[in-house]
Structures are given as structure tokens and as C-alpha cells.
Structure 1
Amino acid sequence: MHNRIVFKFLSRHRYLLTGILCLFGICLLSAQDKKGEPEKKKTRVDLLYADEAQADDQVRPDVQVLIGSVKLRHDSMYMYCDSALIFKRINSVEAFGNVRMEQGDTLFIYGDYLYYDGMAQLAMLRENVRMINRNTELTTDSLNYDRIYNLGYYFDGGTLTDEENVLTSVWGEYSPATKIAVFNHEVKLTNPRFVLTSDTLKYHTETKVATILGPSDIVSDNNHIYSERGIYNTVTEQAELLDRSILTNQGKKLTGDSLFYDRKLGYGEAFDHVQMNDTVNRNMLTGDYCFYNELTGNALATDRAVAVDYSQGDSLFMHGDTLRLVTYHLNTDSMYREMRVYHKVRAFRTDIQAVCDSLVYNSKDSCMTMYTDPVLWYGSEQLLGEQIKVYMNDSTIDWAHIINQALTVEQKDTLHYNQVSGKEMKAYFVGGEMRQVDVNGNVLVIFYPVEERDSSLILMNYSEGGFLRMMLKDRKMERGAFIGKANGTAYPMEQIPADKYRLPSFVWLDYIRPLDKEDIFNWRGKKSDAVLKQSSRRPTVSPRDMHIERIKK
């Protein structure tokens, strides 16, 4: 009977018993785990040696006075001084004269005075403080060293020195374990080749890499870098910079969302929203990628690349797939540069616009040469040919040379156009205004004189000759005359033959004309019937084609 009662009780409460047994097992395992853990002891500061020790239990029972060749230890840290006070109750030390702290064989700290809090493991050293970790030395008059975090920091000016650099700042900290130092306020990194000044800087004493965390300037004999965020390797002298950093060299400023710069190799690369501004010659390259070599003077811009000339009151904007600046005989009296733009070149200025496949500007003769179907618009005038050369004088147009299949067209209305064609054409400018045009070889002219009173068309004059000179004023033809043999016919407006409205080479290309500085990015090709006819003259070779031929050879 008794056994049945016990069985029923156990059956009825078996889940409860199971829970109690599990709980007991967990508590047992937990107790075993705690027993296996080492007990965290609060170690005390131990006296290892002193020439003399004194104590007054009546006046200061917790203080021990040590004099002469004092040696103390707290865990793995050894402390030396001329004299010291040990505060037993708070486990702390006050040390005086020739203070030295040693931890292992890599960390040494010197000073004239030390207060060491053994509970917090914090050392506070004052006057003539030096913290030495292998090849790195930190000097200051006030240093706190936290043994728990293995971190030393100063707050009233200090200097950190290693094999490569000397760093000074108002506030700084150094970790012997990570070899990382952080500096704030009036930071200066001095290197034999450059000086870096900053508001906030992080520096790795092993890799010699400086991390820029605030407004910073890096100045050398050759250039100047400004950045607010990035890294600079003081050994390899390579920089990776962000946040619209600026590289300045001999009047040229390279700016981008991010920059890479190699001081030894002398080149920089900029990415996204790039500007390379030449403040001396007053021109600029922009794009989403730019390369500049300060040792050769060469530069390259791509990805929405634009060359901007702002030397005159009105800026000229020129776009191509690639913009390349090549410098010859750098740093000599015979130095000159070539600006090469290719392909799908489009240019805009308020008074002049242009389109071609490729273009070269040579500073040696101040000549800009347009290759492959070039078209130039000047006000209401359209000029084109197989090749166009524009010669500059102090950044203004001096004269232009249109070579082979030269054609100039001026629109009067949707039906009538003044037209001149010839083998070649030369246009001369005064003060930026076209004043004279000479046309040579198989010259054909269609010209509409206008009534001065109401500017209505009077008649059409069709002429042929060998050489024509036209004089212009206020961007309109004032007079024109053939030199040598010529013949012509005047047609009343209502009697013009249908085949006389257009010269054989006539094309009107207003649909590809750049409308503004933003429209230079919108390439519009010529219609198939507007392409120049093949000429017997030797074909013009573009810079791209010449480059390809050199590679093939």
C-alpha cells in the first residue's frame, strides 16, 4: 500500500522533480566553473629596495617614507626614483627625482615627479617627461600613462619623434601596443622633405602613415597639398585624399572628390568633379578623371572632360572624349605645350563656337588646328573646310586659315544665304572682331546686298574669280572686290534661277552648332549629304591617327 502511494506521488510530480534535478545540475556546473576561474586579486605596490625607510604610525600611519635608490614594483611595472612616499591605504606612490618606469624591455618612462595610483593603475608624470618605446620617443612636461589601456597622453604640449618624423601638438596620446598616436590642436609633422600642419592627425609609428582627420596642409619645396580627410605615407610619400582635397604646383591647382598623389614619382590623379586650374595662364581642365605629372608637365582629363580658357572676359568651353596636355623641354627657355583634344570636339564661347573630330593647340606658335570636318561659327558666319588653323595673339584670335574646300556662309533668312567658297580662306581679326577675309583659288560668291533703310534684300550677285578680298565691319561685309580676272551676274530677287541659290559645296550646319556651355556634351553628327567631298589634296591626318601609326611601327 505504501509503495503504491509513493509511486502515485512520483508519477504525479515527475515533471516537478525533473525540473528540480536540472536546476541542481546547472548550479553544480556553475559552481565548478567559478572554482576553475582565477581569482582577480587587487595587487599592491611592493617595495623592492630603498637605502632608508621611515614611518610614523602616530602621525601618518598609512604612509611610508623611502629615501635613496628606491625601487618599487606593481605587477609587471618597475619604478625607480631618488625618494618616494607609499600610501598603503590607497595603494599609491608619490615619487621624486630621477623617476623611471620600466615595463618589459620595450617601454621606458622618465620624469622628475610621479604620482602613481595603484588602484586605477594610472601614472601621472611631470617635468622633463620622456616616454620611450623602441625607436619612438615622446617628450612633454605633463604625461599621464594608463596601464590598463597601455596609453600615454599629454595635454599641455608635447613632441613625438621617430626615425622619419617629428610631431608636435598641444594634446596627444600614444599607445605602445598599437603604435598609434593621435594629435589635436596646432599639430605639426616635420619631415626633411615636407611639413604637415593639421588640426587633428593620427599617426602610426611603425608604418609611418599619417591619417588626416581635420583641415591639413602639406608643404614642400615643389607643391602644397590641402586636405581635410585622407592618409599620407611619409616613407613612400604617397597620399590618398578625400573631401575635395587640393594639390597645388607652380600655379596649377588639382582638385577632386578624391585624390591620389605620389610625391616621388611626381604625379597626381583626381576622381569625380575634377578641376585642374592654371591660375598663371588662366585656363582650366575639368572632368571626372584627371592625371597630372609635375615632373613632365603632362596632364590628361577624361569623362565629361572640358578645357576652359578664361583669360579673356568671356570664357571658352571645349569638350572632347579626351583632353591631353603635353609639355616639351620643361623648365627650359624653349619650353612649349600642346593641348590635344579628341574625339567629338565641341567648343562654345558667346561669340564663337566650333565642332570637329580632333584639335591641337600649340603654344609654340599659338596655333589651334582643327582636324576632320571642322566647322567654326563666328556670330552669324559659318566657316568650314578640310582643316582650320586659328592663330592666337595674347589669347585673342589674330587670324584663321581654312585649308581646302573652304566655305563661309551667312544666313539672311531661311531661303537666302551669303556664300563664299574657294580652295583656301584667311580671315584676319582686330580686337577679336573679323575685319578682313581673303579667299584664294576657284572663288565662287553668292551675295545679297541689302537696303540700308529697312535691311530688305535688293538682288543676288553671283560672281566667280581667282582671288577675293572682303572687308567687314560690325560682323557684316562692308565691301568686297576680286583681284584679277573675275565675272559675275546680278539677278533681281524675283528672277533668281533655282540652281543659283546654293553653291555646289553649300551646307548649313546650324543643327550641330553648340548652343551653350552645357550643349558641348551633346554630340550631333552631320547629315550624310553634308559631308565634305573627297579632294585630290593629301588627306589631313589627325593626332589620333598619327599616334596609332607610331604604335603600329
Structure 2
Amino acid sequence: MKFYVRTGWELRCLFGLLCLIPVTLFGQIKPKANPVSPAEVSEDTTKSDVINIEWADVFTYTYLEEEDDTLQRLVGHVELSQDTLYMYCDSARVLNGTFLTALGNVIIQQGDSISIFSDSLVYRSDTRQADLFGDVVLVNRGQKLFTNHLHYDLNTDIGTYFNGATITNDTTFLTSKKGYYFANTDEIFFKDSVVVFDSSFTMRSDTLKFNTKSRIATFLGPTLIKQDSTSRIYCESGFYNVRTKEAEFLDNPQYMGEDRIALAQKITYDGSKKEVVLEGKARIKEGSRIAKADRIRYEEDNEISRLEGNAWSKDSARIVSADTIVYRSKEKTYATRGRSMVADPPRFLYANQVDYDEGRETGLATGDVVWRDTSERLSILCEMADYDQGRDFIKAFGGNGIYDRPLFITEIDGDSLFMAADTLISVQNDTTDTDSSRILLAFHDVRIFKTDLQALCDSLVYQSRDSIFRLYDAPIIWSDTTQFKADTVAIQLANDQIDRIFLVNNSFMVNSPDELFFNQIKGKNSTAFFVEGELSRMKVEGNAESVYYALDDDGAYIGVNQALCSEMLLLFGNNEVEGIKFYAQPAATLFPMDKADHEALKLPGFTWEVARRPNGLADLFHSPPVFETRIIPENKIPEGVKDSDFLPSKIPPELTSPPKNNER
């Protein structure tokens, strides 16, 4: 049985004759000049599997007896519907009222937001499954999907493509070989060769989910983001918010720039704050500088880098470690908090905090400060220290928590020499590279202790070039049973041992093995010579005077000799006077022990100041030291990291290759 309709007017005339035929065979025909607006249609609560024919210029109905099928052919301005779904095309074929094949200018409208355009359509109304071919365009509010084959499930509003597609949203373009479009949730799932183009970046991924409403891209596989010609970010999971420019990169995240590499367990970016945060084993290599920390935060606008937790940094000049390090690039400064170390070999600085100006090369270290020069084998301990990296200068003041004022320590003859003063200054002298020299200045109440030498003065200068300590303002030195005094005293070292002591102006030496009788040597200038750390001889020049108590072989006193001479030489053994050699003509008098007035024999200027003599480290300070359990840092550079630790792991080559023509 066959009916042929040439025009819409003839179709309406024949409608009455066909009313006996079940309506399900070929649908309803209603004259409409324009497509139905979705807003004008109320949703039918009872869904039908039948395709309704709303309009066609030409209609043909055929009943296929052998197959027991009905076939409707529609040509010209075809309008079809099923519940709230409307379809438009140039021509269509409807088999059994449920299977539609549409050709030419195909349009699908569902609800008030989704429209799909294509060259052809195959649709099953019973399963509500549609396949669109040709130049397919899906429009959902402001988003558009372009492909050549789209499978669309109208039950779930999920579109699927397998031959590549492009999604546009404002200035963002997304392409992939496969994908799923979830219209209800505004989400698109991209798979295989995913490329995202935006005005500020290009993204390539293996698998990606993108929410077109929130404009959040979620990485579900290896992903590479290129921000410009030199910088890129790689990760294997995370997300990026195109609108707010907030991002989180996980699973082997890496940042690579022109001369910068950054690695961490997690990298986050806040576009509103312009802040990048690296968390978990964070590492950055930029030029010659390497930084590590539990967490690294970088503020782009302020150019501030914060290394938090086990912070460590190394550049061509120094190594810095602390609990926290803050770099301010604009101001060219850095600050540390927590126990800190600044290593500029052979010099090392330890403190509870350090503030440093790289432009001026000056800094301030505070809190339990320890400064060491391993080449000179000397250390300074204090509470606070000013230092100048350019001049290699450090000024120490205040106690370090154990002692109440700065302490200087150096090694001489395998033994430590300790010196305390109100202020200590160490500076590299302006000399040639082949003749470097360090100067140490100590002033106000200087006290020195070594097991075989002790000293007091008000100020002191030490120069490493000649290895001489110069003591000023009422200096006094003790060595074993001998006391030395003069207006100025100099101690010269040789081979890390005391070699000579120079007494300049008003020199006075007192020696007493028993503190009952006192050998005395007085003169203008004197020089004491030491051998293997023991006093060997002493030369006195200018108005020399001596009082010498002679001993017999059993060590008993036999008399006292008083002498005047322009020069004399005293010989010592076991730190006791063994003999005197006079130059020119001496004036000497020998007194028996029982006839001598021992008090009268004390030369003018005689003092025996053993009560002031430091007997231990504690005597160098104003108050007793407060000892507590602590770890003293060792004299070595902490182990660094190799450059290979900062090389990124392998990135899949498909992410680094340029996009193909159909992906651009």
C-alpha cells in the first residue's frame, strides 16, 4: 500500500481519508511556518518512543508487506519531534515510526540549551540514541563542539566522538582524538592526543577532563603545559582553572624554564595572588643557585621566595641552610629563621637567624652565633655579629647563651687558646692574593687562657701574616711560674707554638717557683725566647736591673744577687733562672739569704698579680658560664646535592612534539 503527497496543501486534503490508518504508522502532520521554539513547548510527563512528524513539504508513506514495516519519506522543511526533542532537516526517512535517517541541514534541539547541527543523522527513538555525521556542531550555551561523527545519548545527554573533535569556549580551544561530552554536567572527557589552546598557554595531555562552565581542566594522565617559548610544566595529575588561573600539579610535577627547573611532590599556583607553591621535597635550580626545602613559596609580584622546613640553598658564592630562608630578589636580601648556617669556605657562620643584604654584602647574625675560619683554625662565639662579606669582616658582641661575652678560640701547639673581650672584630687585611692576612681586634677587658699561658689587657691585635698577638693598655702575661709586664706586650708564634714574647717599654719580669722569693728582671725592652713551649732565655736591653736568687745543687737558696747593667741575658731551665750573663760592666751585689732585706730588694714597679691570673675558661667572663646540652656544629660543609638530582624524569615524547595541522 502506498500514498504519495506532492505538497503540504494536498497532504492536508488527504488527511481525512487517512484517518483510519493508525497514527503510529506515520505520525502527525501539522502546518507550521517556522521551527518550534523550545520555550513554547511544555515537557510531557509521559515519554513516547514514537517520532512525531510536525511538518514536511513532501510526504510519502509506504507499507512494506514482506517486512511488515512502515516507511515514511519526508522532503522539504522537515520538522520532527519526540517529547521535548525537536529535529529539523531537508529530508528524512522514518522506519516504523522509531528509526530516523535525516539528511541536509540537520538540527537537533533539546531543552533550552542544547542544539546539534550536522549534515546527516541516524536516530532510534526507542533507545533515544543519535549518530550525527559530516560537519557536526554541538552548541551548549557558550560552548561549541566540532567533529565529523558524534554519537549522542539523549537519555543521559552524553555525546561521544572517536575521530577527533574541537571544543571552543571563549578564547579556549580543546582538541582530542576521542572524547565524551556530558551536557548535563558541562563536562568533557578527552582521551588521546589532547591539546588545549588558550591566549596564555598551550596544554598537551594524554587524558583530560574539562568543565566548560567552571572552566576547570582536570589532568588524568601525563600532561605538559607551555606558557611561553621557554617555560613549561609537566605533571601526571592535577587541575588548572582557566578562569581564576589557579592550578594544582601532582604526580611527578616539574617546572622547566629557560634556566630554571623546579621539582616537588605537589606544585600549586594561585593566579589571583600570583603565587607558586612547591610542597614535599621541593627543589629549584636556577642558574648557579640550587634550593631545597619541605616547601617553597614564590610571590611573583614581590619577587619573594620562601623556603620553609629544612631549607637549603647553594650558589656560586655560598651555601645557606636554616629552618626558613626568605629571598627578596627586588631588594637583593635574604633572611633565615631557625638554626642557620652560611658557608663561604673556608669561613662558616652559624646563628639562630641571619639577615643579609646581597647588594651591600653586609649582614647581621643573632642568637648563639658561631663563626669559623677553617683555614686559620679560629672560631668566634657570641650573641650577635655584624659581618661584611665583601671585606670578610665580622664584629662580635654579646654572649652566646653559655658565656656573657664574645669568645675567640684558636689552636696553638695542639692546644686551644681562648680569648674573651667585650667586642671582637675579625677582618681580612688588604693584601695580595699570595699574601692573605687576617687581623683580629679585641678591646675592653681582654682575657686569655691557654694551659701554659694566660694574659690580661684592655685591647689586643692579632695578625695572621706575622702570627703576633699585640697586647695594649696594662698588659700582663703568665707562663708557668713567670709573670711578664710592659707598656706593650707582643707574643710571636712559630709553627703553631709560642716562639717569643716582646716586652716594650717598662718591661718587668717576675719569676717565683715558691711565691716566697721573687726573681726580677727590669729594663726598657725585653725579649723572652721559648723552646718547645718552655721559657729558654731572656734578653734585657736598656737600664737593665735584676734580682736573682741563687740555688745550690739541692735547690736550696744560697744568696741573692742584685745587678745593674745596660744589657743582660738570663738563662732558664725548667722555667727557673739558671744563670745571668751581663754585657758591659755590671754593678752587682751578692747578699746572703739571712742578711738580705727581701722587701727592699723588690724593684720599683714590682707587682705579683697571681690573684688576677685566669685559671680556667670560666675566669674569662664576668659571670659563670651557663652550660646546657647542645650540638656544636662541625667544621665542614654540609653535603650538597648533585645537578642530576634536579634533572626532570622522562616526559612522554608525544607531549613534547609539535601539534599536527588538525590539532592547531
Give TM-score scaled by structure 1 length. Answer: 0.76
Equivalent residue runs for 1:92-131 within 5 Å? 92-96=187-191, 97-100=193-196, 109-116=203-210, 123-126=217-220, 129-131=223-225
What residue is the counterpart of 2:602 in the other structure? Answer: 502
Instruction: Describe the shift of the 1:141–1:164 C-alpha distance in structure 2 as closer, same or farther (beyond 3 A).
Output: closer
**Aligned partner letter, 2:408:** A
**Which residue is 1:352 aligned to?**
453
> Aligned in 2, Cα 1:194/1:111: closer, same or farther, shift over 3 Å?
same
Supply the AA of the counterpart residue of 1:229. T
Map of 1:382 onto structure 2: 483
Aligned match for 1:49, one of 145, 165, 190 = 145
Q: Does 1:463 align with 2:563?
A: yes
Deviation at residue 305 of structure 1 after TM alignment: 2.1
TM-superposed CA distance for 1:415, in Å, is: 4.2
Counterpart among 442, 445, 449 of residue 341 in structure 1: 442
Residue 638 of structure 2 is matched in structure 1 by: none
Cα gap change, 1:447 to 1:311, in 2 (>3 Å): closer
Match of 1:210 in 2: 305
Number of the residue aligned with 2:397: 302
Find the partner of 2:422 among 321, 324, 349.
Answer: 321
Deviation at 1:286, TM superposition (A): 2.0
| Unaligned residue ranges in structure 1 (runs of 5+) | 1-42, 524-553
Preserved CA contact (<8 Å) 2:502 2:527: yes
The equivalent residue for 1:265 is 360
Say whether the 8 Å CA contact 1:222–1:250 is kept in structure 2: no
Whether the 8 Å contact between 1:439 and 1:467 is mirrored in structure 2 is yes
Deviation at 1:259, TM superposition (A): 1.1
Change (3 A) 1:412 1:518: same
Partner of residue 140 from structure 1, selected from 225, 234, 240? 234
Measured after TM superposition, the shift of residue 140 of structure 1 is 1.0
1:283 to 370, 375, 378: 378
Report SS of the residue matched to 2:390: coil
Counterpart AA for 2:614: P
- Contact 2:492–2:498 (CA<8 Å) still a contact in 1? yes
Distance between the aligned counterparts of 1:161 and 1:330, measured in 2?
44
CA deviations over 1:278-324 (Å, ceiling 9, x no partner): 11121112212223333223332222222211253211111222222
1:483 equivalent among 583, 590, 602? 583
Q: For structure 1, which segment, 461-470 or 416-425, has the greater mean C-alpha deviation from structure 2 after superposition?
A: 461-470
Pairwise CA distance, 1:488 = 2.9
The answer (yes or no) to whether the contact 1:410–1:417 under 8 Å persists in 2 is yes
Alignment correspondent of 2:542: 441
Q: Distance in 2 between matches of 1:329 and 1:236?
A: 29
CA shift at 1:344, angstroms?
A: 1.9
Q: What is the DSSP-based 3-state SS (H/G/I as helix, E as strand, rest coil) of the residue aligned with 2:607? A: coil
- Aligned counterpart for 2:473 among listed residues 369, 372, 379: 372
Q: In structure 2, what is the Cα distance between the partners aligned to 1:412 and 1:500?
A: 20
Task: Provide the aligned C-alpha RMSD in A.
Answer: 3.3
Q: Shift of residue 256 of structure 1? A: 0.9
- Counterpart CA distance in 2 for 1:199 and 1:391 is 50
| Inter-partner Cα distance in structure 2 for 1:381 and 1:284 | 28
Deviations 1:456-512 (A, max 9, x none): 544333332222211112222222232332233333333322642421110122232
Match of 1:431 in 2: 532
CA distance in structure 1 between the partners assigned to 2:377 and 2:329 by the alignment: 33
> What is the DSSP-based 3-state SS (H/G/I as helix, E as strand, rest coil) of the residue aligned with 1:216?
strand
After TM superposition, list the pairs within 5 Å mapping 1:76-87 onto structure 2: 80-82=174-176, 83-87=178-182
Task: Give the 3-state SS of the residue equivalent to 2:371 in structure 1.
Answer: strand
Q: Distance in 2 between matches of 1:56 and 1:390?
A: 97
CA distance in 1 between counterparts of 2:321 and 2:510 reads 51
Bigger Cα Rg: 2
**Aligned-partner residue type, residue 294 of structure 1:** Q
Moved more, 492-501 or 394-403: 492-501
For 1:206 and 1:132, how far apart are their aligned partners in 2? Answer: 21
Equivalent residue letter for 2:444 = H
Tell me the CA shift for residue 230 of structure 1. Answer: 2.0
Aligned equivalent of 1:18: none
Count residues with an aligned counterpart.
Answer: 475
SS state at 2:309 partner:
coil
Shift, 1:218, TM fit: 2.0
The structural deviation recorded for 1:434 is 1.5
Give, as a single letter, the amino acid of the residue that structure 2 aligns with 1:81.
Answer: T
Distance 1:359 1:464 in 2: 32
Q: CA deviation at 1:93?
A: 2.1
TM-score norm. by structure 2 comes to 0.65
Shift in CA distance, 467/311, structure 1 to aligned 2, threshold 3 Å: closer
Q: 1:185 to 1:423 in 2, by over 3 A?
A: same
